[in-house]
């Protein structure tokens, strides 16, 4: 089989890239190792920056998002038993974010692909990217019990950190940068109404907590709660009882005069490790890395999905320009252009993570410094603007 662009991975990056290319008249084939149900059910990010939401709308994938997504114009920071709301539009010239789960983004893009696009092969495990530094790269993959070869002009590696695409970059040309954080998140989904209408980020002496939500499930009337607690990285989710989780959330987000959280049945528990990681370069020959195949951020800043969208929007524009004008400048600049955005998001995510979590080795001096930074955000327009601009994201070029 032959195509113009072989896309490895049917997460939001690979699926959106396929959609953008299809709209531009560039054919592609998407290979996904897991089945459709897995892709449409795996819980991931839920915050869309305005540029991400706009990109989905422009690609024809925004109708359900706009019906069911939850627009948010701010977040609340809680510390020292008080809260401070950061208003996004007033600090960013009108920008905001949208709560809409990655699972729903994938469902929308998969439906579009099957209705209007080219091949999307589930259960197709990519084995290797070959000849990436030539004008005829190819992808070996296994599908239906048989090994196949997909010949192409370009390869987009959207297959995540554990995928095979990155291995096609010669080790002598690659550099990686990494930080492993000394804590993790215990996350839950709960059939309980959100206790606040916007996201709440709480710093507490016992550790960080986050109050978030997901839009109502099909047939439901109200959003459900998505909640997180800072825990040691060795934590097993099952070691926390439901009552212990709710009690600890109440402790960490409590404010003077505030009310306890709305409680309900916990339907899912999982522990998420915290990592910061970047692979350079993001391009080798005709192989382009995108999303988690090239970079990972801790979830505090809500940047992972949004960075992936920025990558594929940049790549799609470069490929279309090259086809239409013969100018390879966008292709040649892909890695550098994306990495500028990536490192900006890494910095923001690092700062948010360090500010809001309690380091296990923190001294009283360290804790006071972080509280001083939170005080400055709450009292200084410039500091609050910096946070709001970072959270809502840099507009795509």
Q: What confidence score (pLDDT) does residue 218 get?
A: 63
Q: What confidence score (pLDDT) does residue 45 get?
A: 74
Which listed residue (196, 295, 303, 357) is catalytic?
303
Q: ∠ CA(17), CA(98), CA(157), 5° rounding?
A: 20
For the cut 70, the answer to whether the pLDDT of residue 162 exceeds it is yes
Compute, in degrees rounded to 10, the torsion defined by CA atoms 253, 258, 263, 266: -10
How many Å apart are CA 26 and CA 18, to the nearest integer? 9
Which listed residue (295, 299, 334, 357) is catalytic?
299
391 is annotated as an active-site residue: yes
Residue range(s) occupied by CATH 3.30.9.10 in the chain: 181-274+360-382
269 is annotated as an active-site residue: no
Report residue 245's pLDDT band, with 50, 70 and 90 as the boundaries. Answer: very high
Q: Is 180 within 8 Å of 281 (Cβ atoms)?
A: no
Lowest mean pLDDT among 92-106, 219-233, 268-282, 306-320: 219-233
Q: How is the beta sheet containing 138-143 ordered, strand by strand? A: 124-130, 138-143, 146-151
Residue range(s) occupied by CATH 3.50.50.60 in the chain: 5-45+102-178+275-354
How many Å apart are CA 50 and CA 284, to the nearest integer? 30
Q: What confidence score (pLDDT) does residue 272 get?
A: 93
Q: What confidence score (pLDDT) does residue 220 get?
A: 64
Terminal C-alpha separation, the chain = 34
How many Å apart are CA 366 and CA 267, to the nearest integer? 36
- pLDDT tens per residue, range 285-319: 999 999 999 999 999 999 999 999 999 999 999 99
Q: What confidence score (pLDDT) does residue 261 get?
A: 94
Strands (E), the chain: 5-8, 28-32, 47-49, 70-72, 74-79, 82-87, 97-99, 120-122, 124-130, 138-143, 146-151, 154-157, 175-191, 199-202, 209-214, 224-231, 265-280, 283-284, 287-289, 295-296
Q: What is the C-alpha R_g of the chain?
A: 21
- pLDDT tens per residue, range 103-117: 999 999 999 999 988
Q: Tell me the pLDDT of the chain averaged across its residues.
A: 95
183 is annotated as an active-site residue: no
Report residue 252's pLDDT band, with 50, 70 and 90 as the boundaries. Answer: very high
Question: 91 to each of 18, 265, 359, 391, how far by Cα in Å?
Answer: 34, 37, 30, 11
Q: What confidence score (pLDDT) does residue 219 get?
A: 58
Fold classified for 5-45+102-178+275-354: FAD/NAD(P)-binding domain (3.50.50)
Backbone angles phi, psi at 112, to 5 degrees: -65, -40
What would be the CATH architecture of the domain defined by 181-274+360-382?
2-Layer Sandwich (3.30)
Q: Is 120 within 8 Å of 19 (Cβ atoms)?
A: no
- Hey, is 305 helix, strand or coil? helix
154 is annotated as an active-site residue: no
Lowest mean pLDDT among 37-46, 309-318, 321-330, 384-393: 37-46
Report residue 215's pLDDT band, with 50, 70 and 90 as the boundaries. Answer: confident
Report residue 98's pLDDT band, with 50, 70 and 90 as the boundaries. Answer: very high
Q: What confidence score (pLDDT) does residue 394 get?
A: 86
Which listed residue (141, 154, 183, 201) is catalytic?
201
How many Å apart are CA 279 and CA 160, to the nearest integer? 12
- Please report, rounded to a whole number, the percentage of residues in the chain having pLDDT higher than 90: 92
Report residue 326's pLDDT band, with 50, 70 and 90 as the boundaries. Answer: very high
Which listed residue (12, 72, 100, 295) is catalytic?
72
Q: What confidence score (pLDDT) does residue 191 get?
A: 93
Contacts (Cβ under 8 Å, ≥6 apart) of 219: none
């Amino acid at each position: 089989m032959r195509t113009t662009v072989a896309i490895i991975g049917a997460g939001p990056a690979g699926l959106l890239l396929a959609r953008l290319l299809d709209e531009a008249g560039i054919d592609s084939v998407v290979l996904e190792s897991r089945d459709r149900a897995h892709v449409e059910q795996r819980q991931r990010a839920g915050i869309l920056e305005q540029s991400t939401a706009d990109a989905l709308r422009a690609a024809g994938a925004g109708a359900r998002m706009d019906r069911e997504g939850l627009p948010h114009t701010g977040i609340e920071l809680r510390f020292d038993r008080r809260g401070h709301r950061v208003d996004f539009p007033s600090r960013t010239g009108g920008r905001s974010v949208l709560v809409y789960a990655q699972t729903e983004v994938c469902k929308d893009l998969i439906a579009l692909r099957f209705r209007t696009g080219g091949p999307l092969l589930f259960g197709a495990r990519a084995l290797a990217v070959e000849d990436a530094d030539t004008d005829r790269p190819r992808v070996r993959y296994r599908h239906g019990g048989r090994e196949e070869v997909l010949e192409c002009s370009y390869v987009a590696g959207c297959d995540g950190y554990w995928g095979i695409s990155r291995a096609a970059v010669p080790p002598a040309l690659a550099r990686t940068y990494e930080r492993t954080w000394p804590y993790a998140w215990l996350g839950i989904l709960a059939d309980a109404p959100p206790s606040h209408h916007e996201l709440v980020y709480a710093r507490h002496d016992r550790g960080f907590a986050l109050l978030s939500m997901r839009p109502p499930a099909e047939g439901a009337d109200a959003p459900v709660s998505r909640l997180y607690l800072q825990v040691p990285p060795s934590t097993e989710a099952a070691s926390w009882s439901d009552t212990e989780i709710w009690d600890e959330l109440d402790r960490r987000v409590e404010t003077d005069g505030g009310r306890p959280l709305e409680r309900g049945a916990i339907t899912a528990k999982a522990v998420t490790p915290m990592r910061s990681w970047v692979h350079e370069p993001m391009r080798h020959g005709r192989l382009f890395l995108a999303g988690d195949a090239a970079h990972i951020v801790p979830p505090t800043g809500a940047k992972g999905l949004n960075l992936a969208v920025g990558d594929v929007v940049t790549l799609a524009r470069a490929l279309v320009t090259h086809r239409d004008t013969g100018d390879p400048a966008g292709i040649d600049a892909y890695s550098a252009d994306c990495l500028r955005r990536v490192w900006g998001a890494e910095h923001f995510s690092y700062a948010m993570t360090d500010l809001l979590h309690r380091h296990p080795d923190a001294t009283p001096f360290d804790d006071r410094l972080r509280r001083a930074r939170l005080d400055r955000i709450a009292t200084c327009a410039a500091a609050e603007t910096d946070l709001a601009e970072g959270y809502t994201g840099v507009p795509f070029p």
